[in-house]
Amino acid sequence: MHTFFSTTVGVDANGAYTTANVELTQGIPLTHRYTANTADPDQKFLLPNANTDTSTLAIRIQTSATDSNSFVYAVANDTTTVNSTANVYFLEEAEDGKYEILFGDGVIGRKPVTGNIILASSLVADATAPNGAGTFIPVSTVGGYSDVTVSTLTTASGGSERDSLSKIKFNAPRSYQAQNRAVTINDYVRILERDYTAAEAVVAWGGETNDPPVYGKVYLAVKPTSGLTLSSATKTYIKDTVLANRNVVSVTPEITDPDYLYVTVSTAIKYDSTNTDLAASSIESLISNTIYQYGVSSLGTFSNQFRFSPLIKKIDETESAIESSLTTVKLRRTFTPTLNVATSYTLRFSNQIPVVSGVAQISSTQFSHNDDSGILRTSCALQDSNGVLQVYRTTGTDRIVVANNVGAVSYTSGNVALTTFKPIAITSGAANVDVTITLDSNDISPLREQILLIANSDITISMYDTGGVGSNTTVSTTTTTSSGY
């Protein structure tokens, strides 16, 4: 599924033959053979398999059955450069989702003659099924050698289902407007969506609007259909293959990852156990699924906003025994700090943070940090105080400041800027620190390359039984009690 570019074979000190960056492509290789008959106006050259990977399609035309000379034909992406003798073909969708190969008419593209033998070779692929494959074992000898080891640099990706009719209808006119050249921001988006089908969503912006500005560049954030980010090899492929021959020479495209922010949802549920046969844990599971599915259907791509009211309505309608709910949402993002090195980080939440005197609006997962006397303190976290970021630890119910000024908070813009942050270790053993903010509004808007998500781990549900006969057990992140809230 990945494309790599070098097949140089070397011999190491142990006499083993090695080669790097080998291209592995999934699919069953098939070659279809047709004989052209220009006297038949109804002749069609159909690829009989709807799962044909058209990116691997190779067309050759042999002169005749008695003349083995053959010529390679390329797909025509830009008709403005095609003349009457160009060896090109066109690809269209025919009945039953199959592909039809068409050739020129002698004006736009070379026209086949009767007796030409058309050879169409391609792979029949399994769409998204191979995505994520990372272990490969040879099923036979390679060059006569049976002791073969395959080391995977990047797991397989790029497989995707065929475009739906609605997606084709949406993209077709916009692709036509791009005219196969990348000049405007929209051109870059349409070309990438057309030629890299494993992209679920794409957003682009000029370097002059970047923060900080970088002139002479255009940035594209790509969300893949599988996973959250693209591999380095895939980014290089998009930049050097998909876009290289279409963008303006003076502009350099840069492929980046989306900026993911996670909506945390904490809800307290009043329900009457006498009005349902379901246990509290079952209702909790239904509510958790409701919240998660809201994230799947309403979030997950660029510009999709989180709307509080529709989620509350869905929660309250999950089960008839639910009487009311009290829900709080916050915004979380994660970053990977460099341990034991004072470094600056800017965390853009892009949503206003409220200012409440004496109440911290920022929290984080725990880490170890030296205090101002150089003593290592464990179980530390971040908090804000009047716009200043602090590292603190807890003793009983008291918060003790470990480092008084490690950055600043812009409450209006929602930017959290760490300037001298030097954690020694992460308490959980993970590489990341999570930072969570309180929000001034329950509706959340992402900016440009940002995408909002709801993870199962960010859902907390407390169950309160007003009927007084429900079980008092803790289920997952759910607390079940008989008291009110």
CATH number at residue 193: 3.30.300.200
- Asked if the structure places residue 418 within a domain, the reply is yes
Structure confidence at residue 53 as a pLDDT band (50, 70, 90): confident
Angle at 45 between CA 39 and CA 50, to 5 degrees: 160
- Asked if the structure places residue 130 within a domain, the reply is no
Backbone angles phi, psi at 294, to 5 degrees: -60, -45
In angstroms, rounded to a whole number, what is the distance separating the alpha carbons of residues 459 and 293?
12
Structure confidence at residue 475 as a pLDDT band (50, 70, 90): very low
Same structural domain, 239 and 311 = no
Q: Is the pLDDT of residue 112 over 80?
A: yes
Tokens of 265: 């949802």
- Asked if the structure places residue 225 within a domain, the reply is yes
Same structural domain, 308 and 372 = no
- Asked if the structure places residue 36 within a domain, the reply is yes
Same structural domain, 461 and 421 = no
Same structural domain, 242 and 266 = no
- Asked if the structure places residue 88 within a domain, the reply is yes
Same structural domain, 56 and 197 = no
Q: Is the pLDDT of residue 122 over 60?
A: yes
Same structural domain, 321 and 363 = no
Structure confidence at residue 294 as a pLDDT band (50, 70, 90): very high
In angstroms, rounded to a whole number, what is the distance separating the alpha carbons of residues 195 and 54?
11
Res 355: pLDDT = 92
3-state secondary structure of 259: strand
Cβ neighbour number for residue 166 with a 10 Å cutoff: 8
Give which of 75, 73, 82 is closest to 107, Cα–Cα: 82
The b-or-e profile of 101-132 (16+ CB within 10 A means b, else e) is: bebbeeebbbebeeebbbebebbbbeebebbe
**Residues sharing a CB contact under 8 Å with residue 223, sequence separation 6 or more, in sequence order:** 199, 200, 201, 202, 258, 301, 302, 451
Same structural domain, 365 and 419 = yes
Name residue 474's amino acid: T
Tokens of 142: 């390679």
Structure confidence at residue 143 as a pLDDT band (50, 70, 90): confident
239-268: pLDDT as tens digits: 888 888 777 778 889 999 999 999 999 999
- Asked if the structure places residue 382 within a domain, the reply is yes
Structure confidence at residue 92 as a pLDDT band (50, 70, 90): confident
Tokens of 322: 């639910």
In angstroms, rounded to a whole number, what is the distance separating the alpha carbons of residues 34 and 47?
11
Q: Is the pLDDT of residue 181 over 70?
A: no
Q: Is the pLDDT of residue 229 over 80?
A: yes
- Asked if the structure places residue 172 within a domain, the reply is yes
- Its sign, for the CA torsion 274, 276, 280, 284, is negative
398-447: pLDDT as tens digits: 999 999 999 999 999 999 999 989 999 999 989 999 999 999 999 999 99
Cβ neighbour number for residue 484 with a 10 Å cutoff: 9
Number of domains forming the structure of the chain: 4
Same structural domain, 61 and 92 = yes
Res 473: pLDDT = 37
Same structural domain, 293 and 235 = no
The angle that helices 308-316 and 280-298 make with each other, rounded to 10 degrees, is: 150
Same structural domain, 207 and 292 = no
Provide the domain limits for residue 298. 260-331+455-481
Q: Is the pLDDT of residue 1 over 60?
A: no
- Asked if the structure places residue 136 within a domain, the reply is no
In angstroms, rounded to a whole number, what is the distance separating the alpha carbons of residues 27 and 242?
22
Same structural domain, 416 and 467 = no
3-state secondary structure of 293: helix
Beta sheet of 117-124, edge-to-edge order: 28-35, 117-124, 52-62, 70-75, 88-93, 99-103, 45-47
Same structural domain, 177 and 190 = yes
Structure confidence at residue 469 as a pLDDT band (50, 70, 90): low
Cα 376 vs. chain centroid, distance in angstroms? 38
